[in-house]
Amino acid sequence: MLDASPSQSGGEALVVDARQVTKLFGDQRALDDIDLQIPPGVIVGLIGPSGCGKTTLVRTLTGITRPTSGEVRIFGADPATFGTRNRRRFGYMPQLPVLFPNLTVWGNLCFVASVYGMSLRRRKHDLTALLDLVDMVPHRHKRLADCSGGMQRRLALAATLVHDPELLYLDEPTAGVDPILRERFWTHFRSLRDQGRTIVVPTQYVGEAVSCDVVAVMATGRILTVLPPDQLGRFAYRGDPLRVDLDNGWLSGREVARLLALPFVSAVRRTEDGLTVVVDDAEADAQRVRRFFEETSVPVGSISPLEPSFDDIFVRIIESHTSEAERAAA
């Protein structure tokens, strides 16, 4: 369960509560015993490789897909039984386009606004503001069929936000979006979060993890971990990785074994410039590692905390928590 929220106050009910959710398509296990509990006012990233189950999980959380087993509760109720009032409480931006290609950009937004009962008086101001958010005001009179794929994604996001939902499922919201507009979207998502909205964002852009409050890493239909982004590195390495630059660039196998035998060292891996040494606590153990090299008369340069990229972190998590057969079958 997620236990931290920037805007959560004690005693608030869970927005999303999925327990032991499994989904089978024939013999294929798309979701495998998923547990995910989300309180109000957080951005949750669902990050994992293509085909790992992110979209199936979101469709199950919206009630579009029924789980084969397990239980899903959204706002305390089964989403498959939602009436109109409860469905208005969440918005879903799917991967595939669902708007009308022969309508204009403005016509599509007006249609969505009418479905949700927005008055004509509000539309001009509110819908223009949404088009401005997604940088589509200059294209408001263009047919959707004449818009690029990226522009269609941007309009789909605007349409999802029309009714100001409490819970947002945004499946790959920044696909095909340039970096400047992507940051603009995330700034808006954080603003919605600060207003108490809950946002679930499946994405393959692992660098977007830093913009989430917590990240659920998925692979082969399973959630491998749910952690704040600044804790993912430690989970991936099963400790704190240190970068050790060796002056001579080499350490013998015997010395590597001696280093690995130290009680505070859990892993040692050779690199081009030296070693990656995984320790219990980077701050406390860096000097102990240096003393080891001094005592063994091995020339060593800098020893510093390793700051791996999010790409490296996610590859390491997936490789260390799934089997080769599972990855091949995904």
pLDDT digits (tens, 9 = 90+) for 156-201: 999 999 999 999 999 988 887 888 888 989 999 999 999 999 999 9
Check: CB of residue 216 under 8 Å from CB of residue 229. no
Q: Whole-angstrom Cα distance, residue 109 to residue 162?
A: 8
- Token match 């952690």: residue? 227
Judged by phi (left if over 0) then psi (alpha if -120 to 50, else beta), residue 153 lies in alpha
Amino acid identity for residue 42 in this structure: V
Average model confidence (pLDDT) for the chain? 89
Q: How far is CA 131 from CA 128, 164, 177, 313, 329, in A?
A: 5, 14, 15, 36, 41
Q: Tell me: the pLDDT tens digits for 230-262?
A: 999 999 999 999 999 987 767 788 889 999 999
Residue ranges and CATH numbers for the domains of the chain are 16-233 (3.40.50.300), 237-311 (3.30.70.980)
Average pLDDT over every residue of 22-28 = 94
pTM of the model as a whole: 0.85
Check: CB of residue 63 under 8 Å from CB of residue 52. no
pLDDT band at 323 (very low <50, low <70, confident <90, very high): low
Q: For position 329, what pLDDT does the model report?
A: 52
Q: Whole-angstrom Cα distance, residue 32 to residue 29?
A: 6
Residues linked to residue 18 through DSSP beta bridges, in sequence order: 36, 72
Q: Whole-angstrom Cα distance, residue 82 to residue 204?
A: 30
Q: For position 6, what pLDDT does the model report?
A: 40
SS3 for 17? strand
Check: CB of residue 158 under 8 Å from CB of residue 133. yes
- Token match 């949700």: residue? 116
Vertex 58, ends 52 and 61: CA angle to 5°? 130
Least confident of 30-34, 208-212, 223-227: 208-212
Q: For position 326, what pLDDT does the model report?
A: 54
CB-based contacts of 3, cutoff 8 Å, min separation 6: none
Check: CB of residue 92 under 8 Å from CB of residue 62. yes
CA dihedral 138, 94, 90, 136 (to 10 degrees): 0
**300-305, strands of its sheet edge to edge:** 265-270, 274-279, 240-246, 300-305
Structure tokens at 26: 């024939």
Q: Tell me: the pLDDT tens digits for 92-130?
A: 999 887 899 999 999 999 999 999 988 888 899 999 999
